[in-house]
Structure 1
């Protein structure tokens, strides 16, 4: 066996190590297995695959690229099963790794291209140089791009953005593989230098665009979060104004209490009992128009109070059981988004029921210090079908999946129940 050729193939296949690092860094907090166990098992498995793959290439006289497609298929299958995040995020992180390794391979191919025979195999030093380029790129990626991508995977819920984003690194991978397979023997040092400069320029543009995308996506995510928080603050402000108006009204009623006593006393002394009853009924009605606090948490109370008024205007009977502490262990804005979207959907479906048959019940409480339950039950048009998919339902499902929770819709006759369970 040609041991020099075997070592060259082993070094080429060793690109799997930096590729695995690029895949691992942005999802290291989302693994389905223990991190240390994965690192040990992954390192040993890759070493075995590299040694065996190099042997197969030598014995069958195959180029290492012959193992490219089956290796990618097996690698993505393992990645899919080991990482706990939506498919489009996995695709983006995975193809970022393949794109970066393709950039390294093409740069190395142009840098070390032969002047006479394009078909001559690479030397051991050339394979080692390619591996060194990959390690350098991984170091830069780990410092600059991996933290941004990790943050986006954890925080960005824009499904339209993710569905389109993974196509960029996938397309770059295909482009560089095609360029690498078409790299000719360059006739002169000047042509080789021009090819190298063109390759480096293209790679710089590709990586810059990827970096700009990550920055843009981060800003878009932060803007969307600020918009949600602003809507919540608007609702809280409206709730505060309502409570302030109620307090002022109550203060005026109590201030005028002596005048009311004089009127009551005058009607009683005159024996006008019917007028007295009517006056007391009006006065009691004015006092009973209370705006109760529905939840100890101010943000949730504001959302519930807003939809309580909406339900009252639509003639929907409501029941609130919001047993939450003043401070929550999850962002209030996210819980309020879920509750608000579900209540909005519930009131829309309640409107399809005849007057007098509209009801809404919302229950939210801590099931344990690390688990929160939310149930929204409401009247709906009779039928077994779950509510049609909408942007509001998708938004709730995305937030639930972020907490590894459950989102279940049940329908019994004209009653629909939405169950949400969050693991905090």
Structure 2
């Protein structure tokens, strides 16, 4: 065993490096550690990995390349998952997509082997094939950087249905399996049976099929997320319509009160002149109860005011104490629709939780205002009784839908990221506190 043998053996594993880089593209906004520190960790892991690869090679005196690569995938995935805050199925889909790309690079490797070594075998090492494979992966990283960040990154950020992600993992798994299944072991057989064009046609068909599946998957996910956003907007509009209806009713009642007020003055004056104070007191009490309470005005933005009035009314009906202090600027870079979605989801979660409370006082405290020209802060607090459950990636599970990530907080998180903000959730002493900072 020479140094050259060890060098060529280790070269077969260098394809893992560009594949690891590809895995970072979609999740770069979900990393738990700064990218510089993460790159140092990755470098140390690869150094240890390459050192460990030498041991079985020296023991068995043969190339165990593909076997060792497949054995290393679960370890790399575990390390990859620990460094991101994504749910496990979404991280797995990203990793399997990288494996899919790696299997495609094997097609490039064996294509060069078939062309330049027609009498060779797939188990042999060919330097020109390895160079072509690495060049392909480097160019693939460069070409796929923007699509991976824009499309795959968007999906892992905005879509959180674990079941669908698990189903989606089947696509890259099947592609990788089929590619390795159809790799020719003896290159000469392709020439002998005139199967060269069949092999390339099959690989091209598989590639196009998987590409179309990815496009279809993104289209479906994008449509679903957009529909959810539209439903939330529709919900806000319904609340606004209800609030405006109440305002119109209040205006009409006020107009009628003004019209009848002179008659009431006549009655009051007559009772006062007669000295009938007890009857006057009873009359005024009845008159006061017949007048509806004035609609509260929380802030200058009508849509925001409608959301707050809606949940204040619901809370009043269920004897939940509310304390809302909201100042949303009329001219704000933050979309009123986005802010209403945030308010609606947070207030709905708080209201539904307080509604079922048995042991603790029912209350919802909300504060939201612009603290500086470029910062908007929101704080909401309510008690809770049920056990708070989270996924391994930090997502809160819904208390109403078993083993499902909470839809409301997903929307809030997405809007927070849209404005380069920060969201923190505290669950101490049976108090659920959400703090959100938005850049505006």
For this structure pair, what is the TM-score category when the shorter chain's length is used for normalisation? Answer: 0.7 to 0.9
The alignment's C-alpha RMSD in Å is 3.6
CA contact (8 A) 1:7 1:124 kept: no
2:151 corresponds, among 135, 148, 152, to 148
Q: Which residue of 1 aligns with 2:348?
A: 340
Q: Which residue of 1 aligns with 2:407?
A: 395
Q: How does 1:54-69 map to 2 (within 5 A)?
A: 57=57, 60-69=61-70
Work out whether 1:169 is the aligned partner of 2:172: yes
Structure-2 change in CA distance of 1:58 and 1:203 (3 Å): farther
Structure-2 change in CA distance of 1:234 and 1:120 (3 Å): closer
Work out whether 1:316 is the aligned partner of 2:324: no
Q: 288-297 or 137-146: which moved more?
A: 288-297
Supply the distance in 2 between the matched residues of 1:58 and 1:196 (Cα, whole angstroms). Answer: 36
Q: CA deviation at 1:228?
A: 0.9
Supply the distance in 1 between the matched residues of 2:325 and 2:227 (Cα, whole angstroms). Answer: 31
Q: Which residue of 1 aligns with 2:100?
A: 99
Q: How does 1:27-176 map to 2 (within 5 A)?
A: 27-43=27-43, 45-46=45-46, 49-50=49-50, 53=53, 57=57, 60-110=61-111, 112-113=113-114, 115-118=118-121, 121-176=124-179
Q: CA deviation at 1:423?
A: 5.6
Work out whether 1:376 is the aligned partner of 2:408: no
Q: 392-401 or 64-73: which moved more?
A: 392-401
Q: CA deviation at 1:79?
A: 1.0
Q: Which residue of 1 aligns with 2:395?
A: none
Q: How does 1:222-371 map to 2 (within 5 A)?
A: 222-287=226-291, 289-294=293-298, 298-312=302-316, 315-327=317-329, 331-332=338-339, 333-347=341-355, 349=356, 360-366=362-368
CA contact (8 A) 1:297 1:324 kept: no
Structure-2 change in CA distance of 1:205 and 1:48 (3 Å): same
CA contact (8 A) 2:320 2:354 kept: no
Q: CA deviation at 1:236?
A: 1.7
CA contact (8 A) 2:119 2:186 kept: no
Structure-2 change in CA distance of 1:162 and 1:296 (3 Å): farther
Q: CA deviation at 1:124?
A: 0.4
Match of 2:285, SS state, is helix
Unmatched 5+ stretches in structure 1: 379-383, 412-416
Q: CA deviation at 1:183?
A: 7.5
Q: CA deviation at 1:86?
A: 2.0
Structure-2 change in CA distance of 1:194 and 1:168 (3 Å): closer
Work out whether 1:211 is the aligned partner of 2:215: yes
CA contact (8 A) 2:118 2:188 kept: yes
Q: Which residue of 1 aligns with 2:391?
A: none
Supply the distance in 2 between the matched residues of 1:241 and 1:79 (Cα, whole angstroms). Answer: 53
Give CA deviations for 1:165-206 in whole Å, capped at 9, x if unaligned. Answer: 334324433443444487875241731221012112111211
Q: CA deviation at 1:372?
A: 3.6
Structure-2 change in CA distance of 1:184 and 1:422 (3 Å): farther
CA contact (8 A) 2:325 2:367 kept: yes
Structure-2 change in CA distance of 1:182 and 1:225 (3 Å): farther
Match of 2:240, SS state, is helix
Q: CA deviation at 1:393?
A: 7.7
Paired residue total = 406
CA contact (8 A) 2:112 2:128 kept: no
Supply the distance in 1 between the matched residues of 2:240 and 2:18 (Cα, whole angstroms). Answer: 50
Q: 248-257 or 40-49: which moved more?
A: 40-49
Q: Which residue of 2 aligns with 1:381?
A: none
